[in-house]
Structure 1
Amino acid sequence: MQKWYILVFVNLILSCNREVEIPNGTKYYESFSGYNHPVQLINEISFHEVEHLQSYIRSTYKNQKLQVVEKYINNRLFFKYVYTYEKNKLIKVELSNNCGYNKTVNY
């Protein structure tokens, strides 16, 4: 019986930690402006606001640099930009969308 309680407790802790880890390095926005890269994200929203929106932008940061931008419409990925940097300078953007379009732009 004691092992069962420990297992439940560990699962509870892990699920709570997972909830905390989701926003870490990830931010959510209502939109973006322009098509220059990296895009300028507008109107940051909380992780919990996302479930009430039909469309939103999910962005991932690493070392304070924008790494990935994903636009979701009705909880489905609409497009994705993946940024690659070298010595803090943008060198490549990988573009893809839900229709199978893929393109790489080198800078």
Structure 2
Amino acid sequence: MAEASGKAEAVRGLDLDDWELYRVMDSDTGEVLCSIGLRASGEPSAVEYGFWALDDAEPTRTGTLSELARGKAWSDKEREEALREVVRKHGKDVALKVKDVVFNIGTK
């Protein structure tokens, strides 16, 4: 398992259907540590997520975060909050801590 050498950066990638996709990369090596997909859930104020450790083809973790988004229109601050929560829950799978991640997620 690759371990983060220090700081990591989360950047927004291309969207896929209703999913917003993000990659978290080691700032020193450029290695992708994990990928995270977010989408507004059918439930009010909820966000579904998928977490891909390293280069797994399918998400290794999935779930729903409550009380984060307001339907389809949500802010970058809310996106960052959702990403932080996913890293908090599953970052240990790739030796990643929230305090080590810089979030550069401006909307496309």
* TM-score after normalising by structure 2: 0.35
Higher strand share: 1
Larger radius of gyration: 1
Bigger RCO of structures 1 and 2 (CA < 8 A, at least 6 apart): 2
